[in-house]
Structure 1
Amino acid sequence: MAVHEDVDAYIAAAAPGRQDALRALRRDCRQCLPGFSEEIRHGMPAYVRDGETELAFASQKQHLALYVMRADVLDRHRDELAHLDVGKGCVRFRRVDQIDHGLVRTMLTETAASRDPVR
């Protein structure tokens, strides 16, 4: 796994066809997660509050992943995400056009408001 100094370097190292989608995810995180710090954790962009990673995203070999660590938030939107590969805390987008930024922003806003346990 490549080690990136910051999120700009992470995005620059991604496949050109994914960079715009990663920039959009980053923009959404920065706008919807006030008070969170942006860091590289576990080799990917992560958004941290009170020392805990609550959200992260990554460009994987076969998909883009959005890690939603607040169980209540992801569980509330499982029906809307049913057409995607959704795990315990991860939404996988095989194509960048599958990303619904309105829904992503809703989940980010709910993450910022949530105080339920982090997975």
Structure 2
Amino acid sequence: MHYDASSPEDYISQVPEERQDILKQLRATINDNLPKGFEEGIQYKMIGYYVPHSIYPNGYHCAPEEPLPFMSFASQKNSINLYHSGIYANPELHKWFVEEYPKHSKYKLDMGKSCIRFKRINDIPFDLIAELCTKMTVEQWIDLYETNLKNSRKK
């Protein structure tokens, strides 16, 4: 499901009412724990957290006019999905998250490369997401992004 929203508040107001409080809590968890420097807004029709052009003028290599994406979340038909580029780009962070998840949820982890799907929206492990948010600074994300970009261009 895609919402045509102009702000995070607008996005949340468009989702089904039974999901709005959960999305507000997820948004607050991210905003309270993400290191300084990331900005919040609408990116790719989701609530996104990204490195603004004022910090990283190059933007996203696939679309330089877009700021460098880092995290986002969306309300989908059957789940709430959290996307975290650091989990995809950093094997140690991925390993940490996969190992920590069972300590915070009695349900099986449903995860793709950078996407964590929460089908039971009342059982989102907000404390784990809060900790995940603290694991990478803007500078660390830019360094990891540039390293992975250089390595992919060498192939």
The aligned counterpart of 1:98 is: 123
Matched-pair contact (CA < 8 Å) for 2:101–2:128: no
How many percent of aligned residue pairs carry the same amino acid?
A: 29
Following superposition, the deviation at residue 21 of structure 1 comes to: 1.0
* Greater C-alpha Rg: 2
TM-score (norm 1): 0.88
Q: Which has the higher contact order (CA 8 A, sep 6+)?
A: 1
Off by >6 Å, runs of 4+ in structure 1: none
Following superposition, the deviation at residue 35 of structure 1 comes to: 1.7
Comparing both structures, which one devotes a greater share of its residues to strand? Answer: 1
The aligned counterpart of 2:37 is: 35
Comparing both structures, which one devotes a greater share of its residues to helix? Answer: 2
Following superposition, the deviation at residue 75 of structure 1 comes to: 3.5
Please report the RMSD computed on the Cα atoms of aligned residues, expressed in angstroms: 1.9
Q: Which runs of structure 2 are paired with 1:73-88 in the superposition (5 Å)?
A: 73-81=93-101, 83-88=108-113
Distance 2:9 2:69 in 1: 19
Partner amino acid for 2:134? Answer: T
TM-score (norm 2): 0.69
Q: Which runs of structure 2 are paired with 1:1-119 in the superposition (5 Å)?
A: 1-33=2-34, 34-49=36-51, 50=56, 51-71=67-87, 72=90, 73-81=93-101, 83-112=108-137, 114-115=140-141, 117-118=144-145
Q: What are the ranges of 5 or more consecutive residues in structure 2 without an aligned counterpart? A: 57-66, 103-107, 149-155
Cα shift readout 1:38-89 (whole Å, capped 9, x = no counterpart): 1101100000113311100000001000001103233421133361210000
